[in-house]
Amino acid sequence: MRLILVGPPGAGKGTQAVHLAQHYSIPHISTGDIFRANLKEGTPLGLQAKGYMDKGELVPDSVTNAMVKDRLTHADTANGFLLDGFPRNVAQAEVLRAVLAEKKTPIDAALELSIENAEIIKRLSSRRTCRGCGKVFPGQLDKCDSCGGELYQRDDDKEEVIARRLEVYAEQTAPIIAFYRTEGLLITIPAVGEVSEITGSAIRALSQKLS
Ligand code: AP5
């Protein structure tokens, strides 16, 4: 299964990606997580990305495309992958299509998580992320229930940055929905309700699409 998750910030892409990657036994590749891991390590890539992420802007395509192209050469992607947060504009979608066409391994589906802005703002302003393992939580817990790590609020989950991320999504990322619809790859599901119910409807929609 070669799957793309599309949806605005806070739609639950990362949350669903964990369950879907486990279900299909494929690696979960989140460009946001890769940037944050690089930042934690203090690499030049992380420091370069931080300036954009903190403002809610996209990291330049030249940097992001090279990073994803490299990740897709790793052996664990041979039987598929789940991309979370990439592509994020039509130019990235075109690069991905070209890279996969060369390998004769096209995308199977682009799964859009649909959600209203009011719910997004509620989710992102209360989200906490584990410093240790990166797991996300919907509320203000004391520590991570998986690794015991400290929980923190992402710098880009501040109110003014959330507003800019939503604008960037509408202006630059939403057009990829039409792109994948035209390609005949788009599936849209509502992203509100219990996490397990959303995972279930994603799996049902995917098996219907791919049957
Ligand atoms: P990235 O890390 O990809 O952020 P995002 O797309 O803005 O998505 P989020 O991580 O905020 O949300 P999510 O949809 O994963 O939701 P989550 O599951 O956490 O990107 C960050 C930045 O990196 C970008 O702004 C950009 O600068 C840069 N970047 C990344 N990719 C790039 C690219 N391709 N090109 C250029 N730049 C790039 O859920 C949110 C909250 O809701 C959590 O608290 C969760 O517990 C809760 N929740 C989840 N599901 C439910 C539910 N069903 N009910 C109630 N609560 C729920």
Establish whether residue 134 lines the binding site of ligand 1, counting it when its CB lies within 6 angstroms of any ligand atom: no
Establish whether residue 32 lines the binding site of ligand 1, counting it when its CB lies within 6 angstroms of any ligand atom: yes
Q: Among residues of the chain, what percentage have pLDDT more than 70?
A: 100
Decide: 114 and 128 in contact? Cβ < 8 Å: no
Q: How confident is the model at residue 28 (pLDDT cuts 50, 70, 90)?
A: very high
97 is catalytic: no
Q: How confident is the model at residue 13 (pLDDT cuts 50, 70, 90)?
A: very high
pLDDT attached to residue 94: 98
CA of 32 to the centre of ligand 1 (A): 8
CA of 48 to the centre of ligand 1 (A): 19
Across the beta sheet with 2-6, the strand order is: 28-30, 81-84, 2-6, 109-114, 186-190
pLDDT attached to residue 140: 75
Residue 2 bridge partners (DSSP): 81
CA of 15 to the centre of ligand 1 (A): 9
Angle between helices 90-103 and 175-182 (to 10 degrees): 30
Instruction: Kindly tell me if the per-residue pLDDT of 3 is higher than 90.
Output: yes
pLDDT tens column, 55-109:
999 999 999 999 999 999 999 999 999 999 999 999 999 999 999 999 999 999 9
Q: Among residues of the chain, what percentage have pLDDT more than 90?
A: 94
Establish whether residue 8 lines the binding site of ligand 1, counting it when its CB lies within 6 angstroms of any ligand atom: no
CA of 12 to the centre of ligand 1 (A): 6
pTM: 0.96
SS3 label, residue 190: strand
Catalytic residue among 13, 36, 123, 128: 13
Q: How confident is the model at residue 141 (pLDDT cuts 50, 70, 90)?
A: confident
- What residues have CB less than 8 Å from 53, skipping those under 6 apart? 32, 35, 39, 59, 155, 156
Establish whether residue 61 lines the binding site of ligand 1, counting it when its CB lies within 6 angstroms of any ligand atom: no
What domains sit in the chain, N to C, each tagged with a CATH number? 2-27+74-116+177-210 (3.40.50.300)
127 is catalytic: yes
pLDDT attached to residue 142: 82
Establish whether residue 72 lines the binding site of ligand 1, counting it when its CB lies within 6 angstroms of any ligand atom: no
